[in-house]
Amino acid sequence: MCLKSQGLKQAFSGLHWTETLEIVTLTLMLSMIPFHTGISLFFTYCWFLSVVLKNSILKRWSFFSWHQDKSYPYNQNAYMLIPMLVYWLAYLISMLWTENRAAGWTEIEQNAWFFAIPVTCLCTDFRQISKKCLRAMLWAFVITLTLLFFYLLAKSIIVTQQSSSGYLTSGLKVFYDYIHHTYGSLYIVSVLAFLYTELVGEEKLGRGMLVLLALCACCLVVFLLFLNSRAGILSFILLSILCCLHTCFIRKKQRQGIISLVVVLTLLTVAYNALPEEFHRLSRTSSEIANGDMSDSRFQIMQSAWTVIKEHPLTGVGAGDRMDVLLPFYDTPKDVLCPHNQFLDTWLATGIFGLLTLCLMLAWPIQAAVKKKQVLPMLINVALLVCLLVESMFERQMGVSFTAVIYVYYSIILMK
């Protein structure tokens, strides 16, 4: 552990203060998202400022002059953020035919990070971020999410003691009151994916790091179950299967893969008996899909969105009218809900162009990860895909900011 700290200090020792500032703000951008999206966005502003300062002082405007710098190859992986920028432009273009302009500008403002973050990322080259530094940045996210679990667990215990029933389940409401279950699940599964890559990485972990990894992983799995999210449980199951397949067939360690699979199945069995309601929702949904039963309210919401999409398949209805056109399917305006599927939501608002851009935005990191033999972007994007299928993830700031920030980390990971 001491040697790792010394290596990290050496990595920072030769940096200009503007480069150090960029690393710090990048770390805080990601780490603060689970605690408070607004604070994370404040550090995003700070990142913009640090990039401008670095480029101005060091004369390193990557987007404009990278071809003139023969000493460093420009990070072409940053180009995968361009679809994200185009995705925001699709919402902006849809304002040409939207009627509810006030709601439309609110949508565009909310998704503005899909424009600002790619532009800023294209103006920096991340050359100062070493592999050790990158791992430290991601570990900061692990630690903050684990600390959030202990904070919410303490609050839930206090609520349980104060309740008349005295059962822990009465205090679990603290978890999904603090953070939306689907978004929280995405954060947790992303962290678990990173911990897996740490466990099987080239650099051997010391005993202290292994203990920390195991502690964080156990706490976060419990955190995931407490959030009572069907998307979260499904993402975790898919993540476990992919990790076992990666261990068996890519790393050629069948014994470890089988042991890991047995451990995961045992864990899920224990969790099913301890928290049957969380798994009952998932099994019930699976049975409904298999039997063609679409009585679940979420399916009915998606069906109403699909009905409107069939009437406007090419252009959509515009960013501002996406909720208004669903009103005939509900009793009152207060009952109107978003499609709970980001693909349908994007298609409804921006038409087929926005949908194709969203698909490209998701597919590019996976393609780049396969080419570079990097498993982490692929695992996180699988979890993101599951969440996008059951939630309009980009209709809340916590979904937009996390997705935009994690794509910055994709660029750094694929470069390193």
Instruction: Read off the pLDDT of residues 285-297 as tens digits, 9 standing for 90 and up.
Output: 555 554 555 556 6
User: What percentage of the chain has pLDDT greater than the value 90?
Assistant: 45
> Residue 88: pLDDT band by 50, 70, 90 thresholds?
very high
Say how far residue 76 (Cα) sits from the centre of its chain.
22
What's the number of CA atoms in the CB half-sphere (13 Å) around residue 44?
A: 28
What does 81-107 look like in DSSP terms, one character per residue?
Answer: GHHHHHHHHHHHHGGGT-S-HHHHHHH
d(C-alpha 388, C-alpha 182), whole Å? 9
Closest CA to 183 of 305, 40, 368: 40
Average pLDDT over residues 100-126: 90
Residue 320: pLDDT band by 50, 70, 90 thresholds?
A: very high
> Comparing 66-70, 212-216, 230-234, 367-371, which segment has the lowest mean pLDDT?
66-70
Task: Indicate the pLDDT class of residue 55, thresholds 50, 70 and 90.
Answer: confident
Mean pLDDT, to the nearest integer, of 218-228?
89
Closest C-alpha to 414, from 61, 52, 100, 129: 129
- pLDDT tens, residue by residue, 197-207: 998 887 788 88
Confidence (pTM) = 0.90
CA-closest candidate to residue 407, choices 109, 30, 40 = 30
For residue 1, the SS3 value is coil
* Among the ranges given (16-30, 65-79, 262-276, 305-319), the one the predictor scored with the smallest mean pLDDT: 65-79
Residue 298 has which token pair? 């979420």
Q: Which of 122-126, 224-228, 297-301 has the highest mean pLDDT?
A: 224-228
Query: Who contacts 179 (Cβ-Cβ below 8 Å, separation ≥6)?
Result: 34, 148, 227, 398
- d(CA 178, CA 19) in angstroms, rounded, equals 34
Neighbours of 136 (CB within 10 A): 19
Q: What is the mean pLDDT of residues 207-219?
A: 92
pLDDT higher at 251 or 416: 251
Model pLDDT, residue 67: 46
pLDDT-derived band of residue 3, with 50, 70 and 90 as boundaries?
A: very low
What is the identity of the amino acid at 181? Answer: H
* Element spanning 361, H or E: helix 342-372
Largest CA distance in the chain: 70
68 against 162, higher pLDDT: 162
Q: What is the DSSP string of 324-340?
A: GGGGGGSSSGGG----S
For residues 77 and 410, the answer to whether their CB atoms sit within 8 Å is: yes
Cβ atoms 127, 66 nearer than 8 A:
no
**73 HSE (CA, 13 A, CB side):** 5
